[in-house]
Amino acid sequence: MRFLGHVTPLLHGKVATIATFASGDEADHLHAFHLQAGESTQPAADADGKADMPVASKENSMRSALPIATLQHLLTLETPSVTAMSIDQPCLFHDLGMTQALIGLCSRHDGALRYIAVGCRHEPGFSMADELQLQPLLPHIARSLHLHLLIDRLSAGVNTAATLLDRLPLGIIFFDEHATCLSMNENARRAVNEARSLLRHMQTYILSRAKTGRPGGKGTRPHVLTLPPNMGEQHFFLLTWDILAEGQDRMHTVFFILSPDQKVQIDDQALCRLFRLTAAEARVAGLIANGTHLDDIAEQLDVSLNTVRTHLRHIFEKTGVERQADLVHLLLRALVAIRAP
């Protein structure tokens, strides 16, 4: 945005955008949009005296900065290059009263055209000097936009990984060699909130090990960490593992927190889709996964014990297991896929 704020007046424009467009798209994708200070967001009236909707409207927020026909034509041009075109069809620039656009085609990647466009309202429009000033900026815009899209892609990957960790039925906490907490999933946050001394105990373990000169090494195996007696009524199993940070010559420590008291949360609808169970069978399967006895299931669901046994027989047939223990094992193995949000 700051870059566009400098470029727009330099090229004698009123509005500017950096965007991408691919063949088959219904609109371009705006990465930055700048309107010169003091410019109204209300467009000028057309020849019939009727004004288009303002750019801030929800409808216009889905429109292209440039006309689709113009964008389709730009796909046929070489990059990098600069061209000036008239704006006489509906688009965001037209809504703002722009009649001319100076368009710099920065690059084409994965079939998508990356461009910068600067608009102005009055004739004679942009000069050859404006085109010459924009030309040397195109490679730099292309590189900056590539980095921006790469960061967005990496962020999406990180968010996906964090979501998957949150769906695991155990707590996971990552520390660096200085006992600084790098990240933790939802179950770990819940465990730390329930037992405040748990986090301090893990940090103390890492620091004390560093003082004795016994840091973990590559190839170490997970081992159970003894918990202090002051944990109160909370019951946890704590497993720790040292791993070598990828691309770095230093160790990180991972703690896995397991709570035998934690109830397994299973999405009944996902169970139905995964094993073709009925809604009643899925409820029974979920209760069995949490260790509920058949007679307690009958009481909780307000059905007879024979009905529960019938559901269980159908569950065995559909899942291919023959014992309750095997059923629980199957459900827990599939827990990451079917865990309720």
Q: What is the mean pLDDT of residues 111-138?
A: 89
**Same structural domain for residues 198 and 240?**
yes
| H or E stretch covering 267 | none
Q: How far is residue 95's CA from residue 70's CA, in Å, rounded to a whole number?
A: 15
| Torsion sign (Cα): 80, 81, 87, 89 | negative
**Same structural domain for residues 243 and 122?**
no
Cis peptide before 80 (omega within 30 of 0): yes
**Same structural domain for residues 30 and 145?**
yes
Determine, yes or no, domain membership for 163. Answer: no
Q: How many domains does the chain have?
A: 3
At residue 59 the predicted structure's pLDDT band, cuts being 50, 70 and 90, is: very low
At residue 302 the predicted structure's pLDDT band, cuts being 50, 70 and 90, is: very high
- CA geometry: angle 334, 339, 341, nearest 5 deg: 160
**Same structural domain for residues 272 and 254?**
no
High-pLDDT (> 70) share of the chain, % = 80
Is-contact 220 241, C-beta < 8 A?
A: yes
**Same structural domain for residues 217 and 82?**
no
Determine, yes or no, domain membership for 159. Answer: no
**Same structural domain for residues 214 and 293?**
no
Q: Which of 84, 99, 8 is nearest to 46 (CA)?
A: 99
Q: What SS3 class is residue 262?
A: coil
**Same structural domain for residues 23 and 121?**
yes
Where in the sequence is the domain holding 315, given as residue range(s)? 268-338
Where residue 191 sits, what CATH number does that domain have?
A: 3.30.450.20
Of 87, 121, 154, the position where a domain reaches its end is: 154
The predicted pLDDT at position 225 comes to: 79
| H or E stretch covering 74 | helix 68-74
Please report, for residues 32, 59, 132, 147, 230, the alpha-carbon distance to residue 2 in angstroms, rounded to integers and kept in the order given.
10, 26, 21, 17, 55
**Same structural domain for residues 11 and 136?**
yes
The predicted pLDDT at position 218 comes to: 45
Q: Give the tens place of pLDDT for each residue, 257-283.
A: 877 666 666 778 878 888 889 999 999
At residue 57 the predicted structure's pLDDT band, cuts being 50, 70 and 90, is: very low
Q: What is the mean pLDDT of residues 300-320?
A: 93
The predicted pLDDT at position 45 comes to: 38
The predicted pLDDT at position 294 comes to: 92
**Same structural domain for residues 254 and 272?**
no
**Same structural domain for residues 21 and 87?**
yes
**Same structural domain for residues 209 and 294?**
no
Residue 45 CB neighbours (<10 A): 11
Interacting residues of 84 by C-beta distance below 8 A, sequence separation 6+: 100, 101, 102, 103, 125, 126, 131
Residue 58 CB neighbours (<10 A): 7
Q: Give the tens place of pLDDT for each residue, 37-49.
A: 765 544 433 333 3
Is-contact 84 100, C-beta < 8 A?
A: yes
Determine, yes or no, domain membership for 324. Answer: yes
**Same structural domain for residues 40 and 148?**
yes
Structure tokens at 143: 């590189």
Q: How far is residue 147's CA from residue 281's CA, in Å, rounded to a whole number?
A: 50
Cis peptide before 215 (omega within 30 of 0): no
